[in-house]
Amino acid sequence: MTARELAVTGAIAFAPRVFPDERGVFASPYVDSVLTAAVGHPLFPVRQTSYSVSRRGVLRGVHFTATPPGSAKLVSCPRGRVLDMVVDLRAGSPTFGRFDSVVLDAHGFASVYIPVGVGHAFVALEDDSVMSYLLSQEYVPANELAVSPTDPALGLPIPYPDPTMSARDRVAPTLGEARAAGLLPDYDTAQEIEAAFRCS
């Protein structure tokens, strides 16, 4: 398995070795020792797992959790193909406002670690694309926030001119509006929550 640091501090893409043979393929998309070495702590205690299924052209995000409590994620795409994007929403972060993207699909079995305070979005590139999420916190609607994925200040590489989005995502504030309203996570607070994973 390889680990690659993304342009957002703390976000890491993992790609396992895939073993094909006449029966199909075998891969291990999660190896604790590799993630621990790359991230600096073991995977957070998993409090919830979730799946989403999306048609081609669906755009979900940019979603994040109010911090505190904050939530880290490990995401993958076991069926279909998506363009996965991470956006640094942590005020005070050295990479604040930056994004990076990774294609996740059912052939490479790659995954992305998304630290506390980092926003997540993806665009489905194929019908019936499944996203799998391991979450460090249970979903609490009141804590779930969003920033507009079409905010020109972010410049996300959305490959469709009119993606299918939820009503919530269509009216989400821009990065600047969210910052002015005090909605964005604080980098130091997010780091403290991440540091607690070392003791879990």
CATH number at residue 74: 2.60.120.10
Spatial CA neighbour of 46 closest among 177, 109, 120, 136 = 136
To the nearest whole percent, how much of the chain has pLDDT over 70? Answer: 100
For residue range 115-148, list pLDDT tens digits in order: 999 999 999 999 999 999 999 999 999 999 999 9
Structure-token match 């994040």, residue found: 64
Instruction: Say whether pLDDT at 200 is over 70.
Output: no
Q: Could you tell me the residue range of the domain that residue 103 belongs to?
A: 2-199
Mean pLDDT of 165-193: 98
According to the model, what pLDDT value does residue 74 have? 98
Catalytic residue positions?
63, 133
Number of domains in the chain: 1
SS3 of residue 182 by DSSP: coil
Inter-residue contact 181 to 93 (CB < 8 Å): no
**Residues ≥6 apart with Cβ < 8 Å to 117:** 64, 67, 70, 88, 89, 90, 93, 185, 186, 187, 189, 190
Mean pLDDT of 45-67: 97
Task: Work out the widest C-alpha separation in the chain, in whole angstroms.
Answer: 57
According to the model, what pLDDT value does residue 62 have? 98
With cut-offs at 50, 70 and 90, classify the pLDDT of residue 198.
confident
Find residue 133's DSSP bridge partners.
Answer: 50, 75
Mean pLDDT of 71-96: 98
SS3 of residue 33 by DSSP: helix
Inter-residue contact 38 to 3 (CB < 8 Å): yes
